[in-house]
Every structure is written in C-alpha cells, then in structure tokens.
Chains A and B, each alone.
Chain A
Amino acid sequence: MTTDVPTSPGAVTVSRGRTGRGRGRRRYQPREVAWAYAFVAPAIVLFAVMGVYTLFWGLQLSFVQWNGLTPTWLWVGLRNYTDLLWASPVFSPPVRAAALNTVWVMIAAPLLTVVISFPLALALNRARRFVGLLRSVYFVPYITTGIAVYLAWQYVLEPNGAINTLLGALGLGSLSQPQGWLGNPDTALPTLIVIMVWSAVPVATLLYLTGLQTIDPALTEAAQIDGASWWRVNLSVVWPLLRGITAVIVLLNLRDALQGFQIFLIMTDGGPGDHTNVLGLQTYRLAFQSELAPTLGLASALGWMLFVAAVLVAFVHLRVTRERR
C-alpha cells in the first residue's frame, strides 16, 4: 500500500495496492485523518524533539564557545572548525595526531577483520563435526565484548601479564614488552587494533557464513569439475559472490573505527601520553574532560567533521563496490 503526500488536511487519498479490494482511490473523512494524525503524532513529536531539534542544536553548538553552564554562549562562527584543523596551536596538534591514529585504525581494523573472518567462515562452512560448538566458540568474543572484557585484556597485556609470561615460557622473551603491551607507545595502538579485530571477527564470520550458505553449490561444483583447486574456487568464485557482504563488513568496521572510542577510553584513555588518542576520544575529551573550559563547541564541531567524514567514506566505498559489481 502506498500513501500519497496529502495536499491539504482532510484530503488524504490512498491508492490501494494490487492485493486490495479495488484499484480506485478513496477519500478519507476528516475525522479519520485526524485519528491518523493523532496516532502518528507521538512518533513525529519524539523524532522532532530527539532527532531534528538535537541535530539543529548540535550544529548550532559547533559555531559557539560554551562550557555547558552559562546562560549565554559566545558566537564564534567557523572559528571552532579552523581552530581544530589548523589555527590553534593548542587544539589542532592533538586533533591531527588523533586523526592519524584514526586513519591507521580505519585501514587496519577492517582489513584484518576481512582477512581473518573470510577464511574462518570457509573453514567453519566445511566443518562436518561439532559445527554448533565451533560456531559458538568463535562467536564468544562478540557476546562477551564490553567493559569487563576490555579490563580482562588489560590484565593479559600488562608487564607481568599472560602474554609476556607465555612468551617467556616459550623462549621468546625478547618479544615480550617490559612496559606492557599498552605501556609501550609503539605497541599500544597495534594492540588495541588487534583487540578491535578480535571483537569484530565473530559478526563478520557470521555474515560470511550466511553468505556462503546462500551460494548455489552447483557454481562451486562446476568450477571443481573444470579443475579449479579449493583455493581457486574460493578466490575466483566464492569471494566475488560475497563482495556485497564484504562491503557491509568493511563499512561497519570503518564506522566503528571512525566514531567508536569505547575501547580507547577504557583501556588506555588515549595513553600512554597521547599515543592511542583517536578522533572519537578527542571529541569526548573536549566535551567532558576539559575541566569546564568552554570547549563544548569544539567538541560539537569535531563531531560534525566526523559525521561528514563518515558519510564521505560510506559514499566512496559504496561507489567503488558498485562499480566493481
């Protein structure tokens, strides 16, 4: 059933679908229209308050200097944006450093997730015994991901933690990190990326598994009859058929990498020093960790820049994948 946009209140016309009782249009009575509006009103009001108003208010905030307390704010125009990008020696250097870290996360996290989850899904799809158990085991990181798991990882990664102990026991003590994996500025960010990937692989694997089960076995059998090896079948037949799922996985991970900061806040708070600060965390810091300095506008401006970046990334990614199809 499709509903036309009403030209005036009380003049709503509804064209019935093909399964309806008739193809003709019927005019609703004003009272019926009023009822319709009454039932739709809560959703519209909630969206107007929680959605439109918040968006507009947030956008307005990005052009002002304010600490969230004073009854008035100072209009600064685009200065928040220029300060974050280049103009301020205080605010732009951490943003640039955080942007660089974010870019690394955006490259590494989706790539590693795909590289690990696709072969894992292929292997799980071939498994004939303990299928349910194996799939449950690989899904555990997803259902346990959260603050508790991040704290558990901290213990594993500290100087006397399980990883350093294990490396020592294996005679690989030279690879251990005396300051802990999160304490060394050179290993902290890669370690966090690995944990992000660990958290993302289960869903990606599940998506790939779903995709694999929709592929017509005749396609792979035909390739095998033509003499293609297992690798060749998966790379030249299966992988292209799952390109759409790969696009979704990459897009989800890009979004997480660009806007998510939970793991960075909980595990390192951007440290050591500023070596794992990312743009999402920098936004949080400007909003809530600046000791009531009037930086809420800067936080909002950075949030909007992240939004634009996310839209651009999604647009470019979708264009690229569509062209390949």
Chain B
Amino acid sequence: MNRYLPRSARTCLALATILALTGAVTACGPGGGGDSSSGDNLTMWTFKQSHVAALQKAAESFKQKTGVGVTVEAITPDDAFIARVQAAAQTRSLPDIFEVHTNGDDFTFGAAGLLEDLTEEATWTDRYLPSVAAEGTVTERYYKQSQEKGAKSAGIKLNQRFSVPLTIGTFGIVYANKERLTAAGVTESPKTWEDFVAALEAVRRARPQDGGLSIGFQAPTTGMEWLMQPMAYGKLGKAGFAGLFSNDPARNWTSANGRSVLESYHQVTPYWMPGTQTLTIDDADLAFAQGRSSFVVGGTFTLAFLSQNGMNPENIVTFPVPSPRGGTVPELSLAPFALTGLSVSATTKNKDGAVKWLEHLAQTDVASQFAKDALDVPPVNLGDDPTGTLGPVLGAMIGSFGSGVEAYNPGDTTHQPPSYDAAVVARSLMELTPLKKADVPTAAAGLQKIIDGYWAGK
C-alpha cells in the first residue's frame, strides 16, 4: 500500500511508526512506570490502605521541615504488593521507601539486594519501645534461620538492619459482645481456655442464631495462628510449643502434647458462626460488628476496624486467648512485636531524604498523630501514660501488652522450619475444625506430614 502514498507521507508514517515503537519499548523499560523519583520528591509504597491518609498528613509536615515531598501509594492486597515489587525489581523501578512486614518481607527484600542496610543510619532507635527497638535487624536467630536450606531470607548478614518499626501490635485477642455476655450470665472475662469454651456455650445457648464465634478462615492461618497457637503456648510453654513444629515424634504434632493441643482446639468446633469457613478477615470482623456473631478473634488492629464499622467500643470485652487449666503458662499474655516497618530502597536517588523521612515518622508527636489518624499502635515510647497521648482505646491496648517468657510472641517464628508456609499447614488443620472432616489423630498426622516435608527441604 505504501507505494500509493507520496514520499513525504511515507517518510512521516515510517517515522511515526518508529517513534510509537520506541515509546512502547521505553514504556516497558525501567522508569517507565513513573516510579522513579527526583531528589526532592520521594515515592513510598504501602500495602495498608488505612495508612495512606495518615502518612500523607505526616508528609505535609515533613515537606515543611525539609522541602522534600513524599508521594504515598497504596498497593493492595498483599499479593498485588508483592507482585508489584517483583516486577519493579526486574525493571529497576522501585520506590524510595517501602512499608514492609517486619522480620519477613524486609529480610527477603534485603537478601535480594533491594534494600539499604540501615545499621549506620538508624540512630534514633532509642525512641522506640525497648521490646521492639531492634525489630528489622538480623539477629543471631534470624541469621541462623536464613542459613537453612530453602530459606526465603538466604543471603542476609548478621546485624544488618533492613527496616525500622512503623506499627506494632499482636494477635490472639478475643473480642466479645459485652451485652450478650452479660445476658448469658458471663460477667467476667474468661481466665482459662475452659472458661472461654464455657462462655461460648453460654452465649450460644442464649442466642442460637447469632451467639457464635467468627474468624476469617478464608485466610486459613487466622484459626491456627490467632487462636490455636496462643492456647498451645499457654498449655505447653515456650519449649513445648516450639517442639510442635519440630520433626521429633516425641514432641511434634503426633506426640501426646500435639494431640492434646488439637483436642483442646477442637472444643470450639460446635461454636463457630455458621459459614465462618468462607469468610475473609474483614467479613468475620463485620459479622461481629453487625451482631451476626458474638465473638471474634483478631489482633490489636481489629478494634479500629470494628469501631470504623459501627461497633460501640464500650460494648466490647477483650481478653487474650487464655491458657488451658493446668497449662505451663497459666497467666498467658501477648507480647507486642513490630507488625510493619519502613525500609529504604537500594535504588533510591535520595537516600539521605529517605532516612530523614523514617526519622521524622519516629518523632513522638508525628508518631502519635500517625497512630491517631491510622488507628494503629505506634512503636514509639510514649511514657507511662499512653492513654493521655493516644486516647483511651489505643492507650488501653498498649497497656495490655506483656513481656518475658509468660508472653506469647506471634512474631517469633524461629521454631518454624525453613520455607514454612503457614497457609498450607493451616488449611490442613481446617479439616479438624471447623470442617470436621478429620479426627484428632488424622489431623495431627496431616500437619506433621507437611512440616516434615519442610524440614526435609522439599
């Protein structure tokens, strides 16, 4: 067809084609996604939508102070965030700063060379609560874990710091509807697992339609990590709990200890809210907020969601998942750990500005404001009376944190085999409860088979 076009038109057409092609190829290349930043504007990616507005507010004061702007972008859900980082890593179009899962994503990203080591730069960590100040640092136990075959963090070095904390908290907190509890004759928070089961029974008897316990089993780890594991820790203590995840038949799930934990966990089976196995975490929380269930298990972060969805905080009773009677840790408490942290990209053109942004967020007034805006618990030490700074809800939550060997720390994963995928293990556990497709010995054997596979490095 080109033979019928005038020469000038042909030339223009060919030029346009080449330009279009060049544009397309350029768009596929590094920086084409508009993620690169200039020195006076930083880009930050987060997987928490609820943090965006709070971070943007903090960015305003940061710009006034330093002249450096911060553009915050939320990429949700977590799967999409990870896929975006994977793609950006290949095209070298990473942002300047990431919000990461502490002691998880940060170590994996760091091992891949995507993050700056902040050991020298993070000079403000004394502002954090002592129990979480070192989170994001490769300690001896995480380094040892990274040496195992198939470890996700293979390549990290001892004492490297890949993130500083942004939010802290814990999970394993039971939220109960106060009015319904009282109406069913339960006037005190359950102190033991047996009391908890009795409370479930009392409320279910009083309210057969909506007296159940909801949990977002579509994310199967919720049942295992938020409810069963704290109870197991209380029942067996730290060493016994770690043994459950070993390949030692005398201590693992197929042992007497393992079966005993599963039997206790199985006691809640009659009390699940109908259909809880199909719910997402948000759906389960909504069911509680809307009165379709009377109990929900969550974390420190759950209260904000319930409040945002119309649940009156004064009508909520919270208590940590309790230890069974006669358990090794009778007064079980929950240790806080860094839920999310901040990391600086290795490809940033303004490392100094990025580090200053991290330090800005760790200032007491900025962290407090961020916490109030995001309804999340900050890692900064707010003194003996956090309630005065953060208000009663967040303040009370900070006051309930425990420490030491009596406190279960969900963030401590050193007992897990390398490449451990909690979702796979938790799906197997669902066969016992709530699905009732396996009895205790079958469920124990199923769990152990998967865990043995991880230990074998497959």
Bound CA–CA A35/B437 (angstroms): 68
Inter-subunit contact B274/A289 (CB<8 Å): no
A41 to chain B: which residues have CB within 8 Å?
17, 21
B86 proximal to A (CB < 8 A)? yes
Inter-subunit contact A292/B82 (CB<8 Å): yes
Neighbour of A293 across the interface among B89, B421, B437, CB < 8 A:
B421
Bound CA–CA A291/B20 (angstroms): 38
Inter-subunit contact A45/B111 (CB<8 Å): no
Residues of B234-266 contacting chain A, CB below 8 A:
none
Residue of A nearest to B423 (CB): A289
Segment of A15-23, A218-226, A239-247, A264-272 in the binding face: A264-272
Neighbour of A288 across the interface among B79, B105, B108, B449, CB < 8 A:
B79
Q: Given the known inter-chain contacts A68-B89, A271-B217, please indicate yes or no for A94 contacting B109, CB distance below 8 A.
A: no
Inter-subunit contact B217/A289 (CB<8 Å): no
B419 to chain A: which residues have CB within 8 Å?
90, 293-294
Inter-subunit contact B274/A178 (CB<8 Å): yes
Interface residues as binary, A39-66 with B (CB distance below 8 Å gives 1, 0 otherwise): 1011001100100000000000000000
Bound CA–CA A274/B428 (angstroms): 8
B277 proximal to A (CB < 8 A)? yes
Segment of B37-45, B337-345, B450-458 in the binding face: B450-458
Neighbour of B278 across the interface among A38, A91, A182, CB < 8 A:
A182
Residues of A103-155 contacting chain B, CB below 8 A:
154
Interface residues as binary, A266-300 with B (CB distance below 8 Å gives 1, 0 otherwise): 00111111110000000000001111111000000
Interface size on A, residues (CB 8 A): 46
B85 proximal to A (CB < 8 A)? yes
Inter-subunit contact A272/B277 (CB<8 Å): yes
B274 to chain A: which residues have CB within 8 Å?
159, 178-180, 183
B430 to chain A: which residues have CB within 8 Å?
271-273
Residue of B nearest to A271 (CB): B218
Residue of A nearest to B437 (CB): A185
A67 to chain B: which residues have CB within 8 Å?
86, 108, 112, 152
B112 to chain A: which residues have CB within 8 Å?
67, 69-71
B150 proximal to A (CB < 8 A)? yes
B431 proximal to A (CB < 8 A)? yes
Inter-subunit contact B2/A39 (CB<8 Å): yes
A91 to chain B: which residues have CB within 8 Å?
458
Inter-subunit contact A69/B456 (CB<8 Å): no
Residue in B89, B109, B435, B449 with the greatest tally of chain A CB atoms within 10 Å:
B435
B85 to chain A: which residues have CB within 8 Å?
69
Q: Given the known inter-chain contacts A32-B3, A88-B453, please indicate yes or no for A69 contacting B114, CB distance below 8 A.
A: yes
Q: Given the known inter-chain contacts A42-B20, A88-B453, A89-B456, please indicate yes or no for A288 contacting B220, CB distance below 8 A.
A: no
Neighbour of B82 across the interface among A36, A46, A288, CB < 8 A:
A288
Judged by DSSP, the binding face of B is helix
The distance from the CB of B180 to the nearest CB of chain A, in whole angstroms, is 18
Inter-subunit contact B217/A292 (CB<8 Å): no
Inter-subunit contact B435/A185 (CB<8 Å): yes
A308 proximal to B (CB < 8 A)? no
Residues of A75-119 contacting chain B, CB below 8 A:
83, 87-91, 94
B10 to chain A: which residues have CB within 8 Å?
35
Interface residues as binary, B79-116 with A (CB distance below 8 Å gives 1, 0 otherwise): 10011011001100000000000001100110111100
B9 proximal to A (CB < 8 A)? no
The distance from the CB of A74 to the nearest CB of chain B, in whole angstroms, is 10
Bound CA–CA A69/B458 (angstroms): 20
B158 proximal to A (CB < 8 A)? no
Inter-subunit contact A292/B152 (CB<8 Å): yes
The distance from the CB of B27 to the nearest CB of chain A, in whole angstroms, is 12
A68 to chain B: which residues have CB within 8 Å?
86, 89-90
Interface residues as binary, A11-35 with B (CB distance below 8 Å gives 1, 0 otherwise): 0000000000000000000001001
Inter-subunit contact B150/A269 (CB<8 Å): no
Residue in B10, B20, B79, B277 with the greatest tally of chain A CB atoms within 10 Å:
B277
Bound CA–CA A35/B114 (angstroms): 44
Interface residues as binary, B437-454 with A (CB distance below 8 Å gives 1, 0 otherwise): 100000000000110111
The distance from the CB of B307 to the nearest CB of chain A, in whole angstroms, is 25
Bound CA–CA A158/B274 (angstroms): 9
B31 proximal to A (CB < 8 A)? no
Inter-subunit contact A70/B113 (CB<8 Å): yes
Inter-subunit contact B435/A273 (CB<8 Å): yes
Inter-subunit contact A183/B277 (CB<8 Å): yes
The distance from the CB of B235 to the nearest CB of chain A, in whole angstroms, is 24
B291 proximal to A (CB < 8 A)? no
B53 to chain A: which residues have CB within 8 Å?
none
Inter-subunit contact B14/A35 (CB<8 Å): yes
Residue of A nearest to B280 (CB): A269
Inter-subunit contact A89/B109 (CB<8 Å): no
Bound CA–CA A173/B437 (angstroms): 23
B207 proximal to A (CB < 8 A)? no
Residue of A nearest to B276 (CB): A183
Bound CA–CA A158/B111 (angstroms): 44
Bound CA–CA A46/B79 (angstroms): 28
Inter-subunit contact A46/B24 (CB<8 Å): yes
Q: Which A residues are within 8 Å of any B CB, using their own CB?
A: 32, 35-36, 38-39, 41-42, 45-46, 49, 67-71, 83, 87-91, 94, 154, 158-159, 178-180, 182-183, 185, 268-275, 288-294
Q: List 15 A-B contacts (CB under 8 A).
A: A67-B108, A69-B109, A90-B454, A90-B458, A179-B277, A180-B274, A183-B278, A269-B218, A271-B278, A275-B435, A289-B79, A290-B421, A291-B423, A292-B82, A292-B105
Closest 6 CB pairs of A and B: A68-B86, A69-B112, A89-B453, A90-B453, A272-B277, A88-B458
- Starting from the known contacts A39-B2, A89-B452, 7 additional A-B residue pairs (CB-CB under 8 Å) come to A36-B2, A68-B89, A70-B111, A94-B424, A270-B427, A271-B278, A272-B434
